[in-house]
Structure formats: C-alpha cells, structure tokens
C-alpha cells in the first residue's frame, strides 16, 4: 500500500512539475540551467526552447534574448540539432549585444556557428567564416609555429585549425563541387575561399584530407564555371597536385597536372618555356609511378624548349662572377655564413622601382646590386629584375606586391632570433640568405605571400626568367624547426643558374642543387642531363650534399665555414662523369 501511495505521489509530482515548468519561466529556466550545467544537452534543449518561447510571449524583444539564444545554440549543437543551433547562433550574432562583445568572444561564437554549419551540411557558410578568420590571421596563417601564441592573429589561426577534422569528414578527396549550390558568382566566391583555406590546411600533414576536400571542390567549381583553361582553375591544380602526391594519390595528381599542362599549352603556346613548370611536375609524378620512359620524354621535350628559347650556351654566363660574388652560394643550417660576412654592393631597392613595405632607407629595404658584368649594369642586376618580376605578377594577378624584407646583417638576425627564439619565420644567425643580400620576402596585400595567391602562381611560372628561385620549398630541412616552407621567400641566383635549376635541377631541392652546381653546369654544357628513374649523379657524387648532414652530426656552428659549400660550389667537376 505504501508503494502504491509513493508511486501516486511521484506521478502527481511529475505532473505538477511539468505543468509548472511549462507556465513558470523561472522554474523552466532553473531546470534548463541545471540540465545544461550537468552536460545533459539533449534534455536541456527542450527546456531552453521553452524558456525562449515564454520570454517572447512575455514581451521580451529579440535584442534582449540574444544571450539566451547564444547559450541555447551551443546546447542544441551539443544535442546534435545542428541546423537549429546554427539558426539560433546566427540570430544572436546579428544582435547589438554580440557586436559589443570582445573580438575573441564574438569569434568563438562565429566558430561555433561555422562548426554547426559544417555538420548541418551548410558548407559554404562555414567556408565564408573561416576564410574571414584566415584574413584576420594575417602572417600567422603562414607559420607552422606561432611567434606569439597569445596574439589575436594566432587565435584566429588556431580556430581554423580546430575545424580540420570536420572538413576532412565532410568532404571527399575528389569532387565535392555539387555540395556547394547557388548562383555561379556565389559559387566562385566560395571556390576562392576554399582555395585559400585548402592551401592553409595543406601546410600540415594532419590537414591533408581537409585540404584535398576543399581544393577538389574548388577546382570542380572553377572548372565548371570558368573552364579548365582558365588561370584560376590552373592555380588550384598547382596547390592540389602536391596534396594528392603527399597522400599517395598519384593518379589523381597525374590527372590534375595533365589538365594544367594542356591548359597552359593552349594559353602560352606549345613552344613556350613557361610550360617547364608543368612538365616538371608531371614528369615527377611519372617517376613516382615507375613510368621512367614517359618522364624522360617529357624532360627531353622541356630541354628542347629551353634550347630553342635560351640558346645552347645558356649555362656558362657569369660563372666566374657568380662564384666570386657568392651569387650561387648555398646558405642553410648545413652551409653557415660567418658573422663577418657582409656584401659590398647593397643598394636601396626603391631606387630601382621596387615597391617596398617599409621605409626605403632602412637596411631591410636594401638588396645586392649583383650586376651582370657582360650586360648593361643598370638593367642586368638583382633589383631591376625584381622590379620587373613584381610588375609582371602584379599585372597578371591583380594583387599588391611589395618587398617585405631584403638584406639583414648577422647582427640584426641575431637580435631577431634572440627575441623570437626558434619560433616563426626568423632563422638563427648565419643561416639566413638575407645576410647574403640576395633574398627577397614578398608581401601580398600587406601580409606574406601565400600559395593560394595568384601572384604565387605567377612567381612559380616566371621567377626563373628573372633569376629567382624558391628557397624553402615544402618538406625542406634547411632551417631548424618543424616546418620551414616559405612561399614568400625568393632568392636571386642569376638567370643562367635559375634556368638550369628549372631545366635540370632536382625538384624542390635548391640548396642541394646550389651545392652541386659546378657538376650540373659542366654536365649540362656537355649535353649530359639527369635521366628519369636513375640516380642523380651530381647529388650522388657529393655524398655530403645530402650534406643534409646526419642528425647526430648536427648543423655547422655559426662562424664556421661550410665545408660542403666550399668543396661543392667552388671546385670544378669533370663533365665526363656518368
């Protein structure tokens, strides 16, 4: 009898409680807060919705409800009601209350909204939010390790990284364009945003799947709207191809590079040496696939283009000058410059019409003149050629390009490194090409050049024509740190050397190439080039060129001359080696 009475009382209490929480806003809110605090999101969500409805019925305006909407949105997201959570968060963010929040608080709300949008399959909305974060991250979006983890820029970069797995799980590595609907113009805007985000994720191994999904969808959208021959479509192929290669999806990389090659062949003509970038990328994939014969045919085609465009004696010019003036000297943690090294021909870059990011009088806005001796020194020099390259790419890309950093002395490098440590984009003293006066860091719109910038594609295609090469390509170990890929850092080596690197050098191994340069020059002058699928004699002959010295040997200490650099780059090599 007691049991029956207890059950009756319990039932009566539950009925009374349910009535109370439906009609009493205070009771409903108390229940909502208790369930929310206990982590019971699924049970809390209905009470939160009830509180919201009762407050509206009581006459509360939408502005005063914004904090509740923001909190309830997070509860709905945790309860896996993603579309409802996103709807509530959008309403909260549109309020004056949200506009008055601190930047980080509002950004955290936007981050929650973007994650809910991904899970609700509203991917274009999430992409727009994270693309805005990417712009706010500025230079932090280019760094593997933050120079200041507490900075606002680092905060935005961390928010983007936090969505890596969500994008990877929501997008396939190929295709995906059909997931983004709307007018063609809107889809193209989304494709540009995905291109930038995909390039950001591609910088880290854990981001490859997110990068592949975003870039593949962007490529499909641009290809459908603009055609495979459009430069914007080709640009994504250049970013996505290496991602596929790193993932082991060689067939997908081959397809992309073939399409890019044929597109550029139509635009630039079948006899243009500008095709060399695409030929080299495609041949590299063939080599990885074990298709040495096809790779070799491509390499020979490229050499015929270079022979027709630049002549048979294109390797010998300025050889003595380059050796004496260190134009072709390797510099890295394996080839260290002494503290007393300083170039004697520094000039203000602005005097040669190079647009600069800082006061034109400071040392950092200076570069070596590095003038050719056999040509007009007013035009055949580093700053004049840099000005031409920047002008070309500014015209092609429609982006504002400026010199961010040129010469830095050993002392300046030491001071910067002591302040920042082993973080960010400053290398230890003696290991920086900036000390040579031959390096140029390039800004696009006031921040470091990114792979997703149209101007980067222009540099990749054309820099060798003006004597510049990319110093720190993906996956290099030239500098201490987790990752020293620097798409903004271009180094002058002179036109003949830059042409030879494109034509015969190992792909994305500029320091190894410079260390073994005499071998490459003399073999090329004799018509002997590396064969596809065979060991590179110039690299193999130098054992020490993998002077990527063993880990236990460690880098050469500052002040000690690099023995490998001396031996490899200043000694003659026999051209008859096989």
Domain boundaries defined on the chain: 181-312, 319-569
The stretch 309-324 carries a mean pLDDT of 72
Cα–Cα distance measured from residue 335 to residue 542, given in angstroms and rounded to the nearest whole number:
14
CA distances from 117 to 69, 125, 135 (A): 16, 6, 20
Instruction: Check residue 148 and give its pLDDT.
Output: 66
Instruction: Tell which residue, 178, 183, 249, has the closest CA to residue 212.
Output: 249
The helix or strand, by DSSP H or E, that contains position 36, with its residue range, turns out to be helix 25-37
Tokens 């597109």 sit on residue? 263
CB 402 within 8 A of CB 454: no
Residue 169 pLDDT more than 70? yes
Residue 1 pLDDT more than 70? no
Residues in contact with 461: Cβ distance below 8 Å, sequence separation at least 6, in sequence order: 274, 277
Max distance between CA atoms of the chain, in angstroms, equals 113
pLDDT in tens, 180-207: 989 999 999 999 999 999 999 998 889 9
Average pLDDT value for the chain: 87
What would you report as the CA-atom Rg of the chain, rounded to the nearest whole angstrom? Answer: 29
CB 563 within 8 A of CB 334: no
For domain 181-312, the CATH class is mainly alpha
Q: Do domains 181-312 and 319-569 have the same CATH topology?
A: no
The stretch 345-359 carries a mean pLDDT of 96
CB 279 within 8 A of CB 261: yes
Cα–Cα distance measured from residue 183 to residue 206, given in angstroms and rounded to the nearest whole number:
33
Report the half-sphere exposure of 154 (CA within 13 A, side-chain side): 11
pLDDT in tens, 91-143: 999 999 999 999 999 999 999 999 999 999 999 999 999 999 999 999 888 76
Q: Is the domain defined by 319-569 classed in CATH 3.30.1380.10?
A: yes
CB 327 within 8 A of CB 497: yes
Tokens 């600069």 sit on residue? 356
pLDDT in tens, 364-400: 999 999 998 767 778 899 999 999 999 999 999 999 9
Residue 171 pLDDT more than 70? yes
Instruction: Check residue 479 and give its pLDDT.
Output: 81
pTM of this structure: 0.86
Cα–Cα distance measured from residue 490 to residue 481, given in angstroms and rounded to the nearest whole number:
19
CB 370 within 8 A of CB 327: yes
Residue 568 pLDDT more than 90? no
Instruction: Tell which residue, 422, 428, 391, has the closest CA to residue 558.
Output: 428
Instruction: Tell which residue, 352, 391, 392, has the closest CA to residue 371.
Output: 352
Residue 346 β-bridge partners: 368
The tokens for 206 are 């854990």
Residues in contact with 487: Cβ distance below 8 Å, sequence separation at least 6, in sequence order: 142, 448, 449, 450, 451, 456, 470
Q: Would you call 486 a catalytic residue per the annotation? A: yes
Catalytic residue among 486, 503, 512, 522: 486
Lowest mean pLDDT among 134-143, 326-335, 521-530, 535-544: 535-544
């Amino acid at each position: 009898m007691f049991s029956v009475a207890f059950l009756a009382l319990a039932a009566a209490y539950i009925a009374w409680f349910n009535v109370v929480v439906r009609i009493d806003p205070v009771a409903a809110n108390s229940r909502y807060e208790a369930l929310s605090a206990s982590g019971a999101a699924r049970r809390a969500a209905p009470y939160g919705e009830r509180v919201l409805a009762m407050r509206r019925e009581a006459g509360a305006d939408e502005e005063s409800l914004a904090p509740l909407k923001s909190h309830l949105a997070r509860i709905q997201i945790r309860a896996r009601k993603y579309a409802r959570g996103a709807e509530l968060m959008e309403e909260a963010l549109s309020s004056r209350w949200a506009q008055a929040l601190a930047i980080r608080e509002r950004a955290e709300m936007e981050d929650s909204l973007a994650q809910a949008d991904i899970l609700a399959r509203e991917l274009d909305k999430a992409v727009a939010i994270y693309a805005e974060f990417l712009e706010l991250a500025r230079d932090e979006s280019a760094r593997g390790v933050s120079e200041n983890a507490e900075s606002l820029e680092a905060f935005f970069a961390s928010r983007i990284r936090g969505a890596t797995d969500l994008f990877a799980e929501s997008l396939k590595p190929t295709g995906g364009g059909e997931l983004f609907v709307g007018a063609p113009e809107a889809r193209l805007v989304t494709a540009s945003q995905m291109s930038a985000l995909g390039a950001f994720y591609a910088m880290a191994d854990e981001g490859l799947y997110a990068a592949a999904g975003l870039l593949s969808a962007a490529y499909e959208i641009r290809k459908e709207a603009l055609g495979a021959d459009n430069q914007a479509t080709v640009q994504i192929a250049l970013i996505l191809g290496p991602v596929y290669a790193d993932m082991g999806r060689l067939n997908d990389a081959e397809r992309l590079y073939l399409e890019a090659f044929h597109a550029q062949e139509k635009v630039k003509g079948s006899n243009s040496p500008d095709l060399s970038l695409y030929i080299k990328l495609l041949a590299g994939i063939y080599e990885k696939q074990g298709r040495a014969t096809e790779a070799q045919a491509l390499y020979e085609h490229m050499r015929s283009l270079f022979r027709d465009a630049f002549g048979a004696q294109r390797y010998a010019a300025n050889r003595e000058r380059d050796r004496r003036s260190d134009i072709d000297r390797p510099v890295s943690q394996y080839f260290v410059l002494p503290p007393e090294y300083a170039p004697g021909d520094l000039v203000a870059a602005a005097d040669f019409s190079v647009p600069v990011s800082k006061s034109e009088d400071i040392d950092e806005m200076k570069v070596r003149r590095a003038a050719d001796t056999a040509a007009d020194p007013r035009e055949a020099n580093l700053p004049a050629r840099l000005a031409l390259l920047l002008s070309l790419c500014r015209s092609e890309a429609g982006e504002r390009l400026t010199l961010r950093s040129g010469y830095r002395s050993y002392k300046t490098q030491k001071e910067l490194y002591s302040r920042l440590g082993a973080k960010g984009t400053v290398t230890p003293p003696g290991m920086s090409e900036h000390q040579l006066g031959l390096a140029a860091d390039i800004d696009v719109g006031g921040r470091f050049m990114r792979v997703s910038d149209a101007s980067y594609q222009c540099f990749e295609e054309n820099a060798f024509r003006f004597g510049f090469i990319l110093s720190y390509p993906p996956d290099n170990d030239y500098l201490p740190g987790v990752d020293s890929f620097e798409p903004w850092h271009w180094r002058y080596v002179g036109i003949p050397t830059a042409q030879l690197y494109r034509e015969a050098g190992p792909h994305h191994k500029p320091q190894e190439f410079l260390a073994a340069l005499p071998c490459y020059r003399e073999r090329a002058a004799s018509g002997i080039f590396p064969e596809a699928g065979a060991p590179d004699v110039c690299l193999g002959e130098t054992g020490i060129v993998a002077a990527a010295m063993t880990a236990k040997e460690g880098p050469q200490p500052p002040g000690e001359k690099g023995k490998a650099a001396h031996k490899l780059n200043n000694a003659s090599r026999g051209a008859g080696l096989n």
